[in-house]
Amino acid sequence: QQQVKQSPQSLIVQKGGISIINCAYENTAFDYFPWYQQFPGKGPALLIAIRPDVSEKKEGRFTISFNKSAKQFSLHIMDSQPGDSATYFCAALIQGAQKLVFGQGTRLTINP
Amino acid sequence: DVKVTQSSRYLVKRTGEKVFLECVQDMDHENMFWYRQDPGLGLRLIYFSYDVKMKEKGDIPEGYSVSREKKERFSLILESASTNQTSMYLCASRPTGRGYSNQPQHFGDGTRLSIL
C-alpha cells in the first residue's frame, strides 16, 4: 500500500524527443506527488510536483500528468536535451506526514 | 540556500567495524532523514528525526541506529558493518509546518560507502 512503482528503469531518448516516465501508486491517502532529479555525484533535487486536484502541471519543458482514477502519474520532458540526462524519481506523500515514498528511479540518457 | 553537508563523499570500511556517517544542515530544520540508494530500488528511508533526540524508524532500519544530539546534526551508525550495507547513503532535511511545495526535502550529495 505504501509503494510507488516507477517505470521504465532506464530510458534512452534522442535529442529533441519526448521523454516519458510513469509511476503508479495504491494508497489513496497520498496527496502530493513530487518528482526529483538527480545528476551524477549530486543529491536529488525537487524538479516539479503536483497535487491530485489538478490533472496536469507544466513548468517549462517539464509536465506532470495525473490520472487520479487510475492512480497513475507521469513526467513528460519535451524537447529533451543532453543536459536532462539524469536519474529521475517520482515520490508520494500523505498530507501532514514527513515521509516521502519514492519510486525505483529511472536513468534517463539523452543522446545528442 | 539550504545546505546539507555529508562529511564524507567516499568511505571504505571493513566488515564488523562500527561506522559513523555524519550529516549537518544549516537551516535550522526540525526534520532530518537518512536514506540509502541502490540501483533498481530507489531511495529507501532508514530513519528520520523530527526533533533533537527524537527518532522514528523508516522502512529498513535493521542494522542501523541514529543519533541527534543537536538540531543541525544527524548521524547514521552502522553498529557492525556488513557487505550488504555497501550503498550510497543520502541525508535530507526539511522544516516542519510548511507546505511541501514551499519547503521540499533538501538532500546532501551522498556518501558512497563500501564495506569490504
Q: What is the pLDDT of residues A78-103, one digit of tens each?
A: 999 999 999 999 999 887 777 889 99
pLDDT (tens digit, 9 = 90+) per residue, B11-59? Answer: 999 999 999 999 999 988 999 999 999 988 999 999 999 999 899 999 9
Cα(B32)–Cα(B62) distance, rounded to whole angstroms?
18
Rounded to a whole number of angstroms, the distance from the CA of A16 to the nearest CA of chain B is: 27
Which of A53, A49, A78, A79 is CA-nearest to residue A64? A49
Chain B contact residues (CB < 8 Å to A): 4, 31, 33, 35, 37, 39-45, 48, 50, 58-59, 90, 92, 94, 96, 100-101, 104-110
Give the nearest chain B residue to A7 (CA atoms). B40
- Backbone angles phi and psi of B83, in degrees to 5: -60, -30
| B63: DSSP letter | T
SS3 label, residue A82? helix
